[in-house]
Structure 1
């Protein structure tokens, strides 16, 4: 089921019993309908928890994860103090760009998931752009 943003807001306001996770899932499915990763332009998917941030580059046509990176990785963890800062996200974006350029991936599609393009998500995207990836 794919809903427009307006329909999601109506559902949320109309049915107060709609659980937050259900609303998040509806929102994710709506966004996922527009963003697809191909072999030429894989998808950079981002997951943000309270303590860390994770990113992976996915080829949706073959359903394969090409590479993954997080603030829990040893090399990144040595350069940052906490994994929940914008600076840590920027460092991780640069690192994932470096790894992807080694695998000859230069163009990607950015998938922010259910998160707003703000704060740590934006810092990760800026770091990836600074590292050489093209969105």
Structure 2
């Protein structure tokens, strides 16, 4: 496996151990070069809410789905859906990705609409 990927997987396992101990509901982010995905997962590892750039109504609005603009749209969409379900307090699981660029934009967009990390 790639050295970069191994390092990211180590970061994932460290943070996820902490989330499991805290039994926290978490916002999990995954990004690829073309898309960004967000899921809210309960403490029992059940997916409650999802949003991604693969959804047709979001995909039509965007010219390109792998940029900061798309991350902001996904952050707002996941925040609206979670607030509608009554989920306000979550932990932010960035899946080992560094906190900058699209990850930071998604987190800030979700915070602006009322999610508390």
Unaligned ranges ≥5, structure 1? 1-16
Unaligned ranges ≥5, structure 2? none
Q: Is this contact kept in 2: 1:44–1:111, CA < 8 A?
A: yes
Larger radius of gyration: 1
Cα deviation, 1:100-128, whole Å, max 9, x if unaligned, reads 11111111111111111100000000111
Q: Give me the whole-angstrom Cα distance separating, in 2, the residues matched to 1:101 and 1:121.
A: 20
TM-score by length of 1: 0.78
After TM superposition, the structure 1 stretch with the greater mean CA deviation from structure 2, 25-34 or 88-97, is: 25-34
Cα deviation, 1:47-72, whole Å, max 9, x if unaligned, reads 01110000100012x22010111011
Q: Give me the whole-angstrom Cα distance separating, in 2, the residues matched to 1:93 and 1:71.
A: 11
TM-score by length of 2: 0.88
Match of 1:64 in 2: 46
**What is the CA-CA distance between 1:31 and the residue it aligns to?**
1.8
Match of 2:11 in 1: 27
Question: How many residue pairs align between the two structures?
Answer: 116
Q: Taking CA–CA contacts closer than 8 Å with sequence separation of 6 or more, which of the two structures ends up with the larger relative contact order?
A: 2
Match of 2:63 in 1: 81
Hey, which of these two has a bigger chunk of helix by percent? Answer: 2
Q: Give me the whole-angstrom Cα distance separating, in 1, the residues matched to 2:75 and 2:63.
A: 16
Q: Give me the whole-angstrom Cα distance separating, in 1, the residues matched to 2:81 and 2:2.
A: 40
